[in-house]
Chain A
Amino acid sequence: MSPFLAALWAEGLKARRSRVPPLTAAAIGIAPLMGGLFMVILKDPERARSMGLLSQKAQLIGEADWPSFFGLIGQAMAVGGGIVFAFAAAWLFAREFADRTAKELLALPTPRGSIVAAKFAVLAIWTAGLTALVLALGFAVGGAVGLPGWSPAVAWRGAAAIAAAGGLTLAVTTPVALLASVGRSYLAGLGWAILMIVFAQVLSAMGWGGYFPWAVPALLAGVAGDPAEQVGPHSYVVIAFVSAVGVAGTLAWWRRADHTR
């Protein structure tokens, strides 16, 4: 077994035995369920009016149909995923310091780079699983609500948008791994993620969101209207840059830093 596969097996076992992945699934699973609730409200205008503030918010997302529902889930995925994916990344890296096991990963025939790569691979698999869960729940909830406007093309576009939101959110999550490692704590990574979401809101409102990597997934999902207004090729460049910095920085830190804990 290659060192990377050995490390991947170890990281996979640790994740499987932990309660954290089911917790993240429960958290992200709220998105399609809430989306379904909005759709139920939108389908019945009388009932929507009687709901007060909630019905007004629900009106903002448009019609009660499959394209609107997918749009809503994609936005929830982009914003909520920012927190949930950061939680997963922070757990994968900072747990080694919380459990004092980091020192067991340093003087091994398996290179530190393989261990870090395995952690990122598990993060990718984990977040892909969460994205798939949101999609599956979305189809189930949308079907149960009886939304109109279904077609294979609509379903494909919706699924692609949600998958893109998941993939881009994963890409901008890699700095969380770096900060959780450098700060040797969950809080450092999660604090960063929350801060980036706040900045993303502000910069998107100012029209600069396309240049801010953490704003792009939500903008693409249509959280601020037509994505083309802010998102362009430059947005993908900044996302790729931030993602690379997160991965390379984490690798370099584990390989070169003084591990005093």
Chain B
Amino acid sequence: MPLSIETTALTKRFGDVLAVDGVDLSVERGEVYAFLGLNGAGKTTTIRMLLGMIRPTAGRVAVLGEPVGPAGRGPWGRVGHLVETPAAYPELTVRENLEVARRLLGLSDRGAVTRAIERLGLAGYADRRARTLSLGNFQRLSLARALLHEPELVVLDEPANGLDPAGVVEVRELLLSLARERGTTVFMSSHVLAEVDRLATRIGIIHAGRLIEEVDAEELERRRARSLVVDARDRPAARAALEGAGFGVALAADGALVLGEPRAIEAPDEVARLLVAAGVPPTRLAVEQEDLEAHFLRLTGGLTTGPA
């Protein structure tokens, strides 16, 4: 079965700026693939190349087994998308906006519009002009359009933008059900890493135009750094006792002691015994794993941005 998305050495240069640099992506059918990166890392340029909106300087893109050609040719009847900011014709109603999309998608099923409206919780707004919608409902309208034709692949740039917490959960459940029940491939970029953590089965991290990590969610779980966090009433004494036993000790933001060595992480009971013996019993002893946000910031070097 062909991949949903396959790029080979995908490169885009805007003048002197190398926005995307030799990106090789392979997204399997039914995956929820999260494409992460700082602002300007090359996410949106890559997404636009996947959708034939920007022509690569070099490299190749295939979507659902078909090459994305010049003049934007591609299997677009089977692909839904939401790129960057949500958009709609402000003078048209929600229903009219979706009706325009239905016709341009060549969809003969007239009921698709009503189903999309109901699925995204827009029934109460169906006859409202798009200009009167809140940001959250505008986002829902864009998602409804992306899912209108029940595509095999959806490419979503920040799908949770503008949604309230209930909306975020609703969209997460919707995307998960599409992936699990219908085998829809979801390719999404997001800055809400907690959301990505709950949703993605595979994660790619792009930085300064280069794909610096591509990993399954399970493998990522194993790769995330772990540490033993220790606290005591007399922190200096506890630190001295640990360093005296040969442990490297770092300080957490809240002043707690952080031990990164495997012998500490794998035997916290030994650490506890050592501290008790030294007369500084621990008040907290926990093996903690970095979250996706910490992993992402560690890989991308924090707040620095790439060239595009």
Structural contact, A106 and B51, CB atoms closer than 8 A? yes
Structural contact, B74 and A10, CB atoms closer than 8 A? no
Known: A109-B106, A112-B71. A259 touches B91 (CB 8 A): no
In the complex, whether A1 has a CB less than 8 A from a CB of chain B is yes
For the complex formed, measure the closest distance between the CB of A239 and the CB atoms of chain B, giving whole angstroms: 28
Structural contact, A13 and B84, CB atoms closer than 8 A? no
Could you say which of A96-104, A119-127, A181-189, A225-233 contacts chain B? A96-104
B residues in contact with A100, CB < 8 Å: 84-85, 87
Known: A101-B88, A255-B71. A106 touches B52 (CB 8 A): yes
In the complex, whether B76 has a CB less than 8 A from a CB of chain A is yes
Tell me the B60-88 residues at the A interface (CB within 8 Å): 70-72, 74, 76-77, 79, 81, 83-85, 87-88
Known: A255-B72, A260-B48. A108 touches B55 (CB 8 A): no
**Count of chain A residues with Cβ under 8 Å from any Cβ of B?**
30
The 0/1 profile, CB within 8 Å of B marked 1, for residues 218-261 of chain A is 00000000000000000000000000000000000001101110
In the complex, whether B112 has a CB less than 8 A from a CB of chain A is no
Structural contact, A104 and B96, CB atoms closer than 8 A? no
Question: How many angstroms from the CA of A225 to the CA of B108 in the assembled complex?
Answer: 57
Tell me the A83-108 residues at the B interface (CB within 8 Å): 99-101, 103-108
Chain B CB within 10 A, most for which of A6, A14, A104, A256: A104
For the complex formed, measure the closest distance between the CB of A22 and the CB atoms of chain B, giving whole angstroms: 12
In the complex, whether A76 has a CB less than 8 A from a CB of chain B is no
**Which residue of B has the minimal Cβ distance to A10?**
B100
Structural contact, A104 and B103, CB atoms closer than 8 A? no
In the complex, whether B199 has a CB less than 8 A from a CB of chain A is no
B residues in contact with A18, CB < 8 Å: 91
Structural contact, B89 and A108, CB atoms closer than 8 A? no
**Count of chain B residues with Cβ under 8 Å from any Cβ of A?**
33
Question: How many angstroms from the CA of A167 to the CA of B90 in the assembled complex?
Answer: 31
Structural contact, A258 and B54, CB atoms closer than 8 A? yes
Question: How many angstroms from the CA of A148 to the CA of B179 in the assembled complex?
Answer: 77
Structural contact, A101 and B91, CB atoms closer than 8 A? no
A residues in contact with B103, CB < 8 Å: 1, 6, 9-10, 110
In the complex, whether A3 has a CB less than 8 A from a CB of chain B is yes
Question: How many angstroms from the CA of A101 to the CA of B101 in the assembled complex?
Answer: 11
> Can you report 14 residue pairs joining A to B where beta carbons are below 8 Å apart?
A1-B106, A13-B100, A14-B92, A99-B89, A103-B83, A104-B87, A105-B104, A106-B51, A108-B76, A108-B105, A256-B55, A258-B54, A259-B48, A260-B54
* Interface residues, chain B, with chain A CB atoms under 8 Å away: 45, 48, 51-55, 70-72, 74, 76-77, 79, 81, 83-85, 87-92, 96, 99-101, 103-106, 145
Shortest Cβ-Cβ A-B pairs, 8 listed: A100-B87, A6-B103, A109-B77, A255-B71, A107-B51, A259-B53, A17-B91, A10-B100
Inter-chain pairs besides A14-B89, A17-B96, A100-B85, 11 sampled, C-beta below 8 Å: A14-B92, A103-B84, A106-B72, A107-B52, A107-B53, A107-B79, A109-B77, A110-B106, A256-B55, A259-B54, A260-B45
